[in-house]
Structure 1
Amino acid sequence: MSLTSILSAEAIESAVKDCQEPNSFCYKKFFKLCGLTSKSPQEVKDVFSILDEDNSGYIEESELKFFLQRFVPGARTLTEAEAKSFVSAADDDNDGKIGVEEFQTMVQS
């Protein structure tokens, strides 16, 4: 399964272009622009499993640095501050990583 089987390539491209500058990434805006906020809970889970590169059941900060590259190869990496902010915005249980339920809540809130 690929992200483009769930989200349109055009929407993904637009979302990635919107945050090309370092420290310009806003997860809420990104999820909206790429169309993820309008997807079903199952589709959001499917996107999570694609982003969970090591299949640990969590998206760790190290994986988040390459978040944009999972959408578009060659996209920039997130800055340390962006990755930390992303984790802290979703990490309800303070374990330093994002679980699937936390990701769903973040996307659909």
Structure 2
Amino acid sequence: SSKITSILNPADITKALEQCAAGFHHTAFFKASGLSKKSDAELAEIFNVLDGDQSGYIEVEELKNFLKCFSDGARVLNDKETSNFLAAGDSDGDHKIGVDEFKSMAKMT
């Protein structure tokens, strides 16, 4: 998404995606992509891209396609990666990730 590449360095995104080839871990991705260094406002903008249906939450299907938001050619997350990602970010137990939860995840790296 051009919105994402206006916030994150495309080379950092590429590096982060390459690291995910063997397995996805959100903290490694957030750090490598530069997400962990972004402001709340920038993280909110990225969250809005990730929230494909604009529900205000990133749900399971959107989590599966998380990497594809950064590059069309990226893979989907497998079920285990998706459930681990959800468990790490879903602090209130509603089975989805809100914008504040997303910001917290990014800053925990």
Per-residue deviation, residues 68-103 of structure 1 (Å, max 9, x unmatched): 111011111100010011011010110100000000
Scaled by the length of structure 2, the TM-score of the pair is: 0.95
SS in 2 for 1:25: coil
Q: Which residue of the partner structure matches residue 59 of structure 2?
A: 60
Gaps of 5+ in 2: none
Per-residue deviation, residues 6-33 of structure 1 (Å, max 9, x unmatched): 0011000000011112xx1010010000
Which residues in structure 2 correspond to 1:68-79 (within 5 Å)? 68-79=67-78
Moved over 3 A (4+): none
RMSD (Å), alpha carbons: 0.8
Q: Which residue of the partner structure matches residue 3 of structure 1?
A: 4
1:19 aligns with 2:14: no
CA distance in 2, matches of 1:81, 1:39: 27
CA distance in 1, matches of 2:31, 2:91: 21
CA distance in 2, matches of 1:108, 1:45: 13
CA distance in 1, matches of 2:81, 2:13: 19
CA distance in 2, matches of 1:77, 1:107: 20
CA distance in 2, matches of 1:105, 1:86: 13
CA distance in 1, matches of 2:82, 2:60: 6
Identity %: 45
Scaled by the length of structure 1, the TM-score of the pair is: 0.95
Which residues in structure 2 correspond to 1:43-54 (within 5 Å)? 43-54=42-53
